[in-house]
Amino acid sequence: MQYTDKRGKNVSAATHRMVADYAQQCWQELNKPEHGINFETRSHEITIKTKIGNGTCWGGRDMINIDVSGYERRSVYCWEYRAYQKSALIGHFNAHPEVCLFGLVAHEFAHYAQRRFAPATDKYALTHRKPHGDCFKDIYRMLRVALVNPYAANIGCAVGHWKGLDEVKEVIKQAANYPEIVTVSNNAPTGVLTQRALF
């Protein structure tokens, strides 16, 4: 991945490096053939910008802009939009601050992929325009399932409504086989899945 660094003057080099490393992991994951995005066949360069500010982050065609103030405050909550915040795979979660930062980077990197590469794919030709629509959620799900959720589970953090690596693996396995079964019920015992929409 070719990228340009724009580290905010109040962001430590170590924190900026962590954001860039997470973005690199997202890049590598989405380049896998099974995802059908094919980054490597397209010219690209991304700017990775970090700052400490008002909490606003965004991902666009050429840049991800990550406000690391939550990480610097050691926030353990990764907020997601109401439309899918209860999804077992891409919803909100409580975890170690590094996991929350990884979730934030994955969210904005999904927007970057959505804006930069999805329009040229057959898979997303009709769904890439809506900011948090099906295209975004599908790409973000790839990143959460492969990278963020297992990372949280490996260090013993809660993700969504469950804890532990075994439960995360089981949810991911069932979701892959049955996309409509992906949300853990708030009323059911931990790890019990209920029929709910993926997003």
Sign of the CA dihedral 111, 115, 116, 119? positive
Six token digits for residue 65? 């802009």
Q: Is residue 175 part of a domain?
A: no
pTM of model > 0.75: yes
Q: Is residue 105 part of a domain?
A: yes
Tens digits of residue pLDDT in 76-116: 888 898 888 888 889 888 888 999 999 999 999 999 999 99
Tens digits of residue pLDDT in 137-168: 999 999 999 999 888 777 656 555 444 455 55
Q: Hunting for tokens 């990197």 — which residue is that?
A: 109
Q: Is residue 176 part of a domain?
A: no
Q: Is residue 132 part of a domain?
A: yes
70: domain range?
3-163
Strands 63-67 and 183-184: unpaired
Q: Is residue 188 part of a domain?
A: no
Please check the confidence at residue 65 and state whether its pLDDT lies above 90: yes
The count of structural domains within the chain is: 1
Q: Helix, strand, or coil here: 18? A: helix
Q: Is residue 11 part of a domain?
A: yes
Residue type, 94: N
